[in-house]
Amino acid sequence: MRKVYVAVIALSVVLCGVFGFMFAKDYFFSAHNASSDSADKPRENRQEELTLAAGSAAVIELSDADEAALTKWMVGNTEIAVVDSGGRIDARKEGTTDVTAAFSDGHAYTYRLTVTAPQEEPAVDRFTSAFTANQDILKKNLSSDSEKHPYEIHVNRKQNCVTVYTYDETGAYTVPVRAMICSCGVENRTHLGTFSLYFSTKWHPLVNDVFGQYASSFDDDLLFHSVPYYHLSKDSLETEEFNKLGTFASRGCVRMTVADCQWICENCAPDTGVIIYDDDNPGPLGKPEMVRITDHTCGWDPTDRDMDNPYRTMHPKISGAQSITLQKGSDYDMAQNITAADTCGNDITDKITITGNVRTDRPGTYRVTYRVTDAINRTAQEDITVTVKE
């Protein structure tokens, strides 16, 4: 038997991301350890306060001794929240109610649960793996009447990572607002130094009779541009080259996903500063991941927002999650035979988050949620019920 305690997860329609690494705090509530400070002490009646947003869930964690003596979980008002046999609370609507753990020795733990308004779904870009930060400062700069360019682009050649900065109160470009994966030139063909953007175009011819989308020039014949296309057609991407993003791959230009080089074209005006440098640290926001194309017959960049892009309707998938009925004492692992694939079909099983606490030594009904988010912030979720019978 295995217990897994996981933080709160929004059960309403919410993010797929992220950022990575970046949007988790909006969806998870730390699992409450009800007895971590008194696992070896005699049980005493006690009361604690809990708060959850409507549409979210959390598991109340008990010590092994408390779990062994637990007889049942109860909730005062099932319209406000429900609790399963493993101490998982699902908040339904705003209000206050009691959640109680009753023990065989007559003692009880009572949790005064306050359910607040549902969390707002954060604005997440599901066409890029870019990390973003400090959007409040950026918004202020974008609305100011300053003549300074709002952005400065820093390219860490050594780490194949682009970090965009905005200016601080002194006017220095020290505030990171966006990080993007890229591919710089092999054999150091991307030149170190300080440059500036001077023109951009939607399509641009490249060496060897190929083409790049959303090109922005910054150093003689070097540009920011998409991974090359064989033709002036969005379904002719060099998919093998796309899968090299994050490594040295170009003839000197800075390759990026369609979504990221489009962002530069649409947001960074001519004369925006560009700094190419080398450093072991990818940058203050880190280096994003990127999905890898597995279907080389498709020919589209997964981040292209074009309405004809077949990747628009694709999303991660979780496999193996099925409701099940078990006999008391059965062996059960919530993670066994559960796998996940990202938007492009790559294995991301290690990114699955599990919310639930199944106790096969105690008959009851247990709810389990599996959730996964891939590199371009698209999410899959599966909910199952595990029933344990005598």
User: Where residue 111 sits, what CATH number does that domain have?
Assistant: 2.60.40.10
Tokens of 123: 């604005």
What per-residue confidence (pLDDT) applies to 41? 59
pLDDT higher at 354 or 32: 354
pLDDT band at 122 (very low <50, low <70, confident <90, very high): confident
The SS3 call for residue 112 is strand
- The percent of residues above 90 in pLDDT, for the chain, comes to 86
pLDDT, average across residues 333-359: 98
Query: Which tens digit of pLDDT belongs to each residue from 245-287?
Result: 999 999 999 999 999 999 999 999 999 999 999 999 999 999 9
Q: Considering only 44-48, 203-207, 323-327, which range has the smallest mean pLDDT? A: 44-48
Nearest Cα to Cα of residue 342 among 300, 298, 290: 290
Domain end position, chosen among 226, 253, 277: 277
Q: Residue 31: phi, psi to the nearest 5? A: -60, 135
The mean pLDDT of the chain is: 91
Is position 302 within any domain?
no
Q: Considering only 8-22, 102-116, 250-264, 289-303, which range has the smallest mean pLDDT? A: 8-22
Tally of structural domains, the chain? 2
Is position 306 within any domain?
no
CA 315 to chain centre: 13
Tell me, yes or no, whether 273 and 144 share the same domain: yes
What per-residue confidence (pLDDT) applies to 24? 37
Tell me, yes or no, whether 201 and 77 share the same domain: no
Nearest Cα to Cα of residue 111 among 57, 54, 48, 59: 48
What per-residue confidence (pLDDT) applies to 42? 67
Tell me, yes or no, whether 68 and 110 share the same domain: yes
Q: Considering only 38-42, 144-148, 195-199, 381-385, which range has the smallest mean pLDDT? A: 38-42
Tell me, yes or no, whether 29 and 115 share the same domain: yes
Tell me, yes or no, whether 135 and 202 share the same domain: yes
Tell me, yes or no, whether 327 and 247 share the same domain: no
User: Where residue 218 sits, what CATH number does that domain have?
Assistant: 2.40.440.10
What per-residue confidence (pLDDT) applies to 46? 86
Tell me, yes or no, whether 252 and 367 share the same domain: no
- The percent of residues above 70 in pLDDT, for the chain, comes to 89
Tell me, yes or no, whether 99 and 178 share the same domain: no
Tell me, yes or no, whether 178 and 118 share the same domain: no
Per-residue burial over 217-250, b = 16 or more CB atoms within 10 Å of its CB, e = otherwise = bbbeebbbbbbbbeeeebbebbbebbbbbbebbb
Is position 296 within any domain?
no
Is position 92 within any domain?
yes
Report the alpha-carbon distance of residue 275 to residue 76 in Å, rounded: 61
Tell me, yes or no, whether 271 and 152 share the same domain: yes
Asked if 147 and 256 count as a contact pair (C-beta separation under 8 A), the reply is no
Q: Give the amino acid at 302.
A: P
Is position 43 within any domain?
yes
pLDDT band at 6 (very low <50, low <70, confident <90, very high): very low
Tell me, yes or no, whether 106 and 186 share the same domain: no
pLDDT, average across residues 226-236: 98
pLDDT higher at 201 or 42: 201
Domain end position, chosen among 221, 253, 277: 277
Range of the domain at 330: 9-122+315-389
Domain end position, chosen among 226, 257, 277: 277
Tokens of 119: 């969390």
- In this predicted structure, the answer to whether residue 109 has a pLDDT above a threshold of 70 is yes
Query: Which tens digit of pLDDT belongs to each residue from 156-165?
Result: 999 999 999 9
Q: Considering only 38-52, 180-194, 204-218, 277-291, which range has the smallest mean pLDDT? A: 38-52
What per-residue confidence (pLDDT) applies to 220? 84
What per-residue confidence (pLDDT) applies to 121? 79
Is position 308 within any domain?
no
Is position 283 within any domain?
no
Tell me, yes or no, whether 153 and 233 share the same domain: yes
- In this predicted structure, the answer to whether residue 87 has a pLDDT above a threshold of 70 is yes
pLDDT higher at 123 or 387: 387
Is position 203 within any domain?
yes
